Amino acid sequence: MTLSKTYVISIDDVRSAAEQLAGVAVRTPLIENIKLNEIAGGRVFVKAENLQHMGAFKFRGAYNQLSRLTEDEKKRGVLAFSSGNHAQGVARAAQLLDIHATIVMPKDAPPLKLAATHACGAEVVLYDRYKEDREKVALAVAGESGAVVVPPYDDPLVMAGQGTSALEVVEDLTAMGIKPDQTLINCGGGGLASGSFTVYYDAFPDIQGYVVEPDEFDDVKRSLESGVIQTVDFGARSICDALLTPSAGERTFPIIQDCGAKGLAVTDDQARAAVAFAAKNLKMIGEPGGVVSLAAVLEGKIDTKDKVTVCIISGGNIDPEMLADCMARF
């Protein structure tokens, strides 16, 4: 299915973002692995966005937005609220562009992500993920400072920036003369999914898109099934800290919905097993929330036999203890 309506972003916005990011973002590799192909019974390509600056795709959207700020906006600084990867992406983009960044992060964000955000020179404000609303906390801080808020996903420039990852996949597959049957995207708020599907469905109208979420955070899956944006249960928990978003965005969801994407969900243990698989076989480090699409392939959540499937490792910022635990158990 192709996108027929006029959406908040188009393929041209993603192409424009790619120009903005040229020579700044890492052009990450697309990995094929014999063992993974054998398990899938087909060809599987893994987009390695864990090799992006700061170990996650988030740098793309952040830099696409920050690099377009006016001089006056740059002087006022930027503010982001994030569980970790968006925080680091914004912090690094701001550092490169010489902009002051304030980042509102949950107190229980992985220490690695907190440390990396600090290391980029950002000012970090902590809040309680389960008791406080991060947008309210962030806006309160922004109100005081006059800083420009960089939303984590529901923003045209952020969505277009994230989509540049898929643009590279399309380029690589086209160069190899390969047409993918299906693509699986890790999904929190839908920034990566909406940007990526904009690209995939433009290049390959017959492709089937899937969003993959943690079991207890399967709001986008339920939203797609019901046709209305659903939210997660307030008591939901998952080790996939990159994907703990309460609901898809008002801008991201219509794109995901109208291209005909379907929803999949994986358990924390399936994510752990995929972390271990990536480390042992792909020799790459993915974080739990970064490997859910790989987990869906490994677990046979969709039919991959004799098909060409594209999935993504969207982030690799995992604490060493968690990595060791995954590798020891799976």
Backbone angles phi, psi at 211, to 5 degrees: -100, 145
What residues form DSSP beta bridges with 106?
A: 127
Residue 21 touches a second copy, criterion: CB under 8 A? no
Q: Judged by CB under 8 A, which stretch of 31-39, 78-86, 151-159, 216-224 contacts a second copy?
A: 31-39
Closest CB 221 distance from a second copy, rounded Å: 28
Asked if 22 interacts with a second copy (CB under 8 A), we say no
Minimum Å gap between C-beta 226 and a second copy is: 36
CB of 309 or CB of 314, closer to a second copy: 314
Residue with tokens 């490997």: 291
> What is the C-alpha separation between 15 and 250, in angstroms, rounded?
22
Asked if 34 touches a second copy (CB under 8 A), the answer is yes
**Spatial CA neighbour of 260 closest among 11, 21, 9, 4:** 4
Rounded to an integer, what distance in angstroms lies between the CA atom of residue 46 and that of residue 32? 6
323 binds a second copy, rule: CB under 8 A: yes
Region of 27-35, 101-109, 205-213, 298-306 interacting with a second copy (CB under 8 A): 27-35
Nearer to a second copy, 116 or 193 (CB): 116
Select 172 or 258, whichever has its Cβ closest to a second copy: 172
Out of 103, 284, 294, 296, the residue judged to bind a second copy by CB under 8 A: 284
Site for a second copy, residues 211 to 250, rule: CB under 8 A: none
Binding flag, residue 114, a second copy (CB under 8 A): no
Contact call for residues 304 and 44 (beta carbons, < 8 A): yes
Find all residues with CB under 8 Å of 67, minimum gap 6, and list them: 20, 24, 93, 97
Choose which of 11, 26, 97, 236 interacts with a second copy (CB under 8 A): 26
Least Cβ distance, residue 285 to a second copy (angstroms): 5
Q: Is 139 in the site for a second copy (CB under 8 A)?
A: no
* CA dist., res. 94 & res. 67, Å (int): 9
First-to-last C-alpha distance (Å) of the chain: 38
For residues 254 and 286, which CB has a smaller minimum distance to a second copy in the complex?
Answer: 286
**Least distance between a second copy and beta carbon 1 (Å):** 32
Q: How far is the CB of 72 from a second copy (least distance, A)?
A: 27
What mask of x and - would describe binding to a second copy in positions 186 to 215, judged by CB under 8 A? ------------------------------
Distance of alpha carbon 82 from alpha carbon 240, whole angstroms = 14
Query: What DSSP designation does 56 have?
Result: B
| 55 contributes a contact to a second copy by CB under 8 A | yes
Instruction: Using alpha carbons only, give the angle 168, 59, 273 rounded to the nearest 5 degrees.
Output: 75
User: Taking a C-beta distance cutoff of 8 angstroms, is the pair 31, 284 a contact?
Assistant: yes
Minimum Å distance from CB 262 to a second copy? 29
Q: Please report which helix (H) or strand (E) contains residue 46, including its range.
A: strand 43-48
Whole-number Cα distances in Å, 93 to 67, 90, 96, 147, 258: 8, 5, 5, 15, 31
Binding site for a second copy (CB under 8 A): 26, 28-29, 31-34, 48, 50-51, 53, 55, 92, 112, 279-286, 316, 320, 323-324, 327-328
